[in-house]
Structures are given as C-alpha cells and as structure tokens.
Amino acid sequence: MPEGLTDRQWKWILLRHPSRQQLWLYYPAACEGDFEVLRVCDPTGWDAAVLSWHTCTSCRRGHIAKISIADHWQRQGLGRRLVLRAMRGAQDYHWTTTGQSPEAQQFFPVLARETGAAFTQREPVCDHMKSADYSHPVPRFERH
C-alpha cells in the first residue's frame, strides 16, 4: 500500500479505477519550497516510478531531486510524463537536477532540448528550498 494512504483509501482508489495498471498519486507541497512527490504504483501498491521535486515561486526555480523508474517500465515515456507533470505551471522557471544515474544523464539533456529548461546539474537550490519543511500531506489520485 502506498505511503500516506490508509488501507481503506487505497481500496477505494482501486475500486474506482479497476482497470488501471498505473495509478498516479500526487503528494503536494505543504508550503512554499517543500518537496512534491509523484508516485506511479501498480494495483498491488508497488512503486513503479517516483519523482520528487520542489519549486519556489518567489525565485522562479524548480529542482528535480530524484527520479526512479523500475527497469521494466523504462523507455516507455513515463519519465518524460512525470517531469512534464512536475513542470506544469512552472515551465519558464530555471530548472536544475542533482547528479543522477547514467540513464538520467542521458535523459535530462534530451528533455532539456524538448522543453527549453536547463536541467543543470549540481546547482545550489534557493534559500526557500533549503529551509523548507519536508513533510507531505495525504496524497491524492491523479488521472494520467
């Protein structure tokens, strides 16, 4: 069962979406600069993909902290969809990322060309992100 959900909440999601093989859960930021998380689970609750990022509207910055996709779900456009979802409403921000895996080091330059975002690596985040509280509220289901 995904983190942050009760057994009853998870069962309700499964009942409402019985044919979905990918269940997207969004964990919103509690306040400015906090991490946001997208989890893509299969119906058993197993995390097939996770993306965590944070944005700062004051500084107009976005930072991809972590992207993880199960091997058998890679190369199907899921990473692209996750990052584009994270960028929604912040496409014109200055986007950075951490030093990632060799796969991510190939992925981000391609996505940078497509979106126009820099996705520079190892650039410091703003002070708002540094001082953010890293707690997450209850996730909510998103259709994708």
Give the CATH number of domain 7-142.
Answer: 3.40.630.30
Instruction: List the strands of the sheet with 94-97, edge to edge.
Output: 120-121, 94-97, 61-69, 47-56, 35-41, 23-27, 140-142
Q: Please give the single-letter amino acid code of residue 129.
A: M
Res 62 pLDDT > 80: yes
Give burial (CB, 10 Å; 0-12/13-18/19+) of 117.
Answer: buried
Domain boundaries, the chain: 7-142
pLDDT digits (tens, 9 = 90+) for 3-50: 888 999 999 999 999 999 899 999 998 888 888 999 999 999 888 999
pTM attached to this predicted model: 0.88
